[in-house]
A and B are shown apart, each in its own frame.
Chain A
Amino acid sequence: GAGVSQSPSNKVTEKGKDVELRCDPISGHTALYWYRQRLGQGLEFLIYFQGNSAPDKSGLPSDRFSAERTGESVSTLTIQRTQQEDSAVYLCASSPRDLGGEQYFGPGTRLTVT
């Protein structure tokens, strides 16, 4: 089956604009995660969805960041009033409920804020 897909693959935006990033998880995976990876650094947890439970938003860096997921399908990560420090690769991953240590990553969206 298909893996995790993300769109767009690249996004260049001007400072102050809003951006929306999309993630399609693997079918049947109930858990979905968003991470941020700055150049040469590790992955920074942003938010986690598990089925219909309330999401874990503990990693969102500011109230400019928000994410939604409908059921066990597509998720969107929205960054409002983008800043230059938001420039990074945003990675989405999914996993079956009981295999949280084993996550499957999408190719990421490279966001550049000019």
Chain B
Amino acid sequence: GQSLEQPSEVTAVEGAIVQINCTYQTSGFYGLSWYQQHDGGAPTFLSYNALDGLEETGRFSSFLSRSDSYGYLLLQELQMKDSASYFCAVRDSSGYNKLIFGAGTRLAVHP
């Protein structure tokens, strides 16, 4: 079967750094995506890793280790507007473009 595990909640203060981990078990694997979703809003694409290593996009970075079936999203210089739910999603070989989503991590950023 397919499963993704990520923490349900994370709390941090403004200006801090937070890491949201994601471990996955899938029958095949093409890549790992991260999405952000504010309450009442649509998911927004953040990053996609197909190869091992770190991808940086502004304050957000995403890491993948295929051998460990593990990835993380790193958010730096946290701002209040980063309070949202963050989902990891696996693009697996059961469907070339199909994504299987984790249950999401709710990030609360406090002053």
- Contact residues of A with B, CB < 8 Å? 31, 33, 35, 41-45, 48, 50, 56, 58, 91, 93, 95, 97, 99-108
- Residue picked from B41, B45, B94, B103, most chain A C-beta under 10 Å: B45
Q: Is the CB of B91 within 8 A of A101?
A: yes
The 4 A-B pairs of least Cβ separation, nearest first, read A100-B97, A101-B48, A105-B42, A43-B101
Complex alpha-carbon distance, A92 and B3, angstroms: 22
Q: Is the CB of A106 within 8 A of B42?
A: yes
Partner of B94, one of A42, A58, A101, A105: A58
Complex alpha-carbon distance, A93 and B45, angstroms: 11
Question: Which residues of A are found within 8 Å of B30, using beta-carbon distances?
Answer: 100-101
Least distance between B13 CB and chain A CB atoms (Å): 24
B interface size (C-beta, 8 A): 25
Q: Is the CB of B33 within 8 A of A105?
A: no
17 pairs of residues in contact across A and B, judged by CB atoms under 8 Å: A33-B97, A41-B103, A42-B87, A42-B103, A43-B87, A48-B98, A50-B97, A56-B95, A100-B91, A100-B96, A100-B99, A101-B31, A101-B33, A101-B99, A103-B45, A105-B44, A107-B41
- Cβ-closest chain B residue relative to A91: B42
Partner of A97, one of B44, B97, B100: B97
Complex alpha-carbon distance, A5 and B31, angstroms: 27
Question: Which residues of B are found within 8 Å of A99, using beta-carbon distances?
Answer: 48
Complex alpha-carbon distance, A100 and B50, angstroms: 11
